[in-house]
Amino acid sequence: MSVGQSPLRHDAAAKTDGSIEYAGDTVPAGALQAVVVFSGRAHARMLLMSTDSALAVPGVVDIITAADAPVNEYGLTMRDQPALVGVDHTGAAAVDAAVSRWEADQIAVVIAETRAAATAGAAAIEVEWEDLPLVDNIDAALAPKAPLVHPENGLDTNAYHHLRIRKGDPDFGFALAYAVIDEVYEVPHQEHAYLQPEAGTAYIDNEGRVTIEIGGQWTSEDREQVAHVLGLPEDRVRIIYKAIGGAFGGKEDMSIQIALGLAAMRLAERGEHRPIHCRWSREESIVGHHKRHRGRIRIRLGATHDGTITALEADVDLDAGAYNYTSNKVLGNAHVSVAGAYRIPHARIDSRAIYTTTVPGGAFRGFGGPQGHFAIESAVNRLAAELGIDPVEMRLRNALVDGDDGITQTVMPEGVSMREVITACSLQAELDEALPDPEPFSPIASLPSATTSLRRGRGFAAGFKNIGFSFGFPERCEAEIVLNGNPNDETPTSAELFHGGAEVGQGAHLAMRQMASDATGVSLDDVHGHFSDTATSGDPGSASASRLTFMAGNSILGAAEEAEKAWREGDRPARGFFRYTPPPTEALDPETGTGAPNFCYGYMAQCIEVTVDVDTGHIRVDRVTSTHDVGKAINPALVRGQIEGAVVQAHGYAISEDLQLADGFITNPRFSSYLIPGIGDIPLQVDSQILEFADPLGPFGARGVAEMPFITYTPALTAAVHDATGLWFNTFPLTPSRVLGGLQAAEE
């Protein structure tokens, strides 16, 4: 048995000694270099572009512009973005391709002998723009007569996607309440900050396919989007993933894929067959790809004396930025999670995705869950404090159980473990014991602190996250297994697994091999993976939504069964292909929000202990208890890795990461001023508590875990800071300036 064990990752040695090949490492000999040119305009109409002087720069080979795009529109869930902004395009596009709607709209791809020449060429491109009015935040976008960012969609508002929930009678519910809190929460942007910025190489392979070697999250979807712009059938495009240095949702949308694909196709037509390489700098990466959505959530929550929730009202506004990316889906998730994993008899929720002329919002670990949970979990903590009820007890009183309807008025998928998770977390965190006295910050921080200024506190939060795609998306995952052996062998001697699922650093390929090993009875060492190449593997769906273990596992179980059938029939090698489809989900009713949005959830709870220096506003997290029902830990070490990694990433979101925008431009696109946590900043201790309440649909009972530890961190942290200081923060990051400012304001 391999499932449930933590064997060494097969990519561990090569990742440790640096020999593994990331897309940015492998520049084929003689490759040309490409630079993607950004518009540098937040909102402007292109009047004229001339590439004449740029083409005259020594070393410049060619320049791809809008005129080269057979179809000049793309998008993962809505095609609202031009592939290249330009005036002279002839390709079909539903969107006005002459308008730049954020600073990193792409306008050209300069291909040259060297990167220096390509950069010089990029600087020599001449463009004339007519500035259009800025719409650089959601207030500006919602103002009466605000300029429309996408007039072509026919709406008279920038709030282009609106979801509703109408359940029971909220007025009645609030009338039953003994206490009601009414708060506005602001959530900030977050940058993915993956180790490896975007990089890739494009060429025409020996079967004539436009081929892109890159890092991403969903091979088949990348192929679909590239093929659409190139005007090619999908089988004329091939996507191969090299080793991927992190993604976190930030590589779910296109970055340089289309630019590279267009360049390879057009240059080949013009007789130039050398491969083309492109690699973004950190600054290009931060400016050029989407962010976790910033937004504003107003929430009203009422409960009776004993803490029973009676009603909820919420207005969720997310800044989608210039293009939809996956905003409509992220919004759906925020919309459902803003009600928490609670029984709420009466509710009204209105959620909107809003276009602005700023960096797009998009997928990022948690996918709307962190925003929704920050609001509901903060509100629950606040209401509990107001009622004088223990926050754990308050949650246990309201938590959903099997058989309950969720907020969308359909029964929750079987296996609701919210109560068990909350209880386990509260026990593990030893909540009944008083916190020990504070210890000085030294020597980790640069502040040897007088213990007289230190305050300790702890906070709690809990929640849930869907596993798999939601709202009626045709969810699927394909696998192929080949069993090798001689005709008279009773059992196979080795197995090949063909799977598209992306190894973004999380260890998915090892977990898949482990599941294939158990499914086929072939020992792990003899299960060989062939991964993430559209020429050899089927549609895996995305490495996102905490879905890959669940979906890939089920596809592998199915493929193994098929292969075994063929084996028993005497096939050598014996092949089995399987396309797994989970129970269908539903889009929510546009008026009432009724529907079954998801087929599986993971449940989590966290307790955080902090020390706050009230003289400097510096926060140290002393201990995090992170409790997760993962159904089954296919590989416990990988599960712990996800928990610890997500906690650190969430810590940055909560404490220090502060993306700054001025007039639509990101002003701190580098790590010297966009501060991700260092080793001295992260929590001193993370206790990962793994629970295994098998999911009835999960492979081996598995659910998912990748996003859950991120989602509840911020509200648990702000509750701990409240416990320490008496102050509630409705916005973050809790930088020293913000914390001390809050303490000073409270004193006055």
Partner 1 sequence: MEYAAPTTVDEARTLLADNPGSRVFAGATDVVPQMRSGRPEPSVLIDLKLIDRLMSVTHDNGHWTIGAAMPTSELTSNGEFTSVFPGISEGAGWIGSDQIQNRSSLGGNLCNGSPAADSVPAMIASEARAVIAGTDGERTIPVADVVTGPGQLSLADGEFVVEFEIDDPPANTGDAYIRMTPRTEMDIAIVGAAVRVTMNGDTCTDARVVLGAVAPTAVRVPDAEAALIGSSLDEAALAEVTAAASAAANPINDKRGTIEYRVQVAGVLAKRAAVLAAERARA
Q: Footprint of partner 1 on this chain (CB under 8 A)?
A: 444-450, 453, 615-618, 656, 658, 660, 667-668, 672-673, 675, 677-681, 735-737, 740-741, 744
Helix (H, G, I), strand (E, B), or coil: what is residue 131? strand
Query: 152-170 burial by CB neighbour count: b if 16+ within 10 A, else e?
Result: ebeeeebbbbebebbbbeb
331 and 318 Cβ atoms separated by less than 8 Å? yes
DSSP state string for 257-318: HHHHHHHHHHHHHTT--S-EEEE--HHHHHHHS-BBPPEEEEEEEEE-TT--EEEEEEEEEE
Shortest distance in whole angstroms from residue 349 CB to partner 1? 35
Nearer to partner 1 by C-beta: 307 or 669? 669
Cβ 724 to partner 1, closest distance in Å? 17
**Nearest distance in Å: CB 312, partner 1:** 35
Q: What's the closest the beta carbon of residue 119 comes to partner 1, in angstroms?
A: 13
To the nearest whole angstrom, how small is the minimum distance from the Cβ of residue 278 to partner 1? 20
For partner 1, the closer CB: 35 or 330:
35
Residue nearer to partner 1 on the CB measure, 7 or 736: 736
CB of 133 to partner 1, least distance (A): 26
Cα–Cα distance, 639 to 706 (Å, whole number) = 8
Minimum CB separation of residue 445 from partner 1 in Å reads: 5
Both structure tokens of 209: 């396919």
56 or 450: CB nearest partner 1 = 450
CB atoms near residue 584 (< 10 Å): 11
Nearer to partner 1, 595 or 669 (CB): 669
Q: Which residue, 67, 65, 68, 71, is CA-closest to 92?
A: 71
Q: How far is CA 420 from the centre of its chain?
A: 27
Query: DSSP assignment, residue 153?
Result: G
* Neighbouring residues of 333: CB distance < 8 A, sequence distance ≥ 6: 367, 368, 369, 372, 466, 470
Closer to partner 1 by CB, 18 or 474: give it.
Answer: 18
Minimal distance, residue 656 CB to partner 1, in Å: 6
CB closer to partner 1 out of 485 and 736: 736
DSSP annotation of 342: B
Q: Enumerate residues 6+ apart whose C-beta is below 8 A from 107.
A: 37, 38, 39, 46, 49, 65, 66, 84, 85, 86, 100, 125, 127
8 Å CB contact between 327 and 388: no
Phi–psi pair at 332, nearest 5 degrees: -55, -40
- C-beta of 571: minimal distance to partner 1 in Å? 57
Name which of 450 and 535 has its Cβ closer to partner 1: 450
**Shortest Cβ 438–partner 1 spacing (Å):** 15
By C-beta, is 237 or 286 nearer to partner 1? 286
Cβ proximity to partner 1: between 584 and 741 the closer is: 741
- Which residues have CB under 8 Å from 604's CB, separation 6+? 421, 462, 463, 464, 465, 626, 627, 628, 629, 708, 709, 711, 712
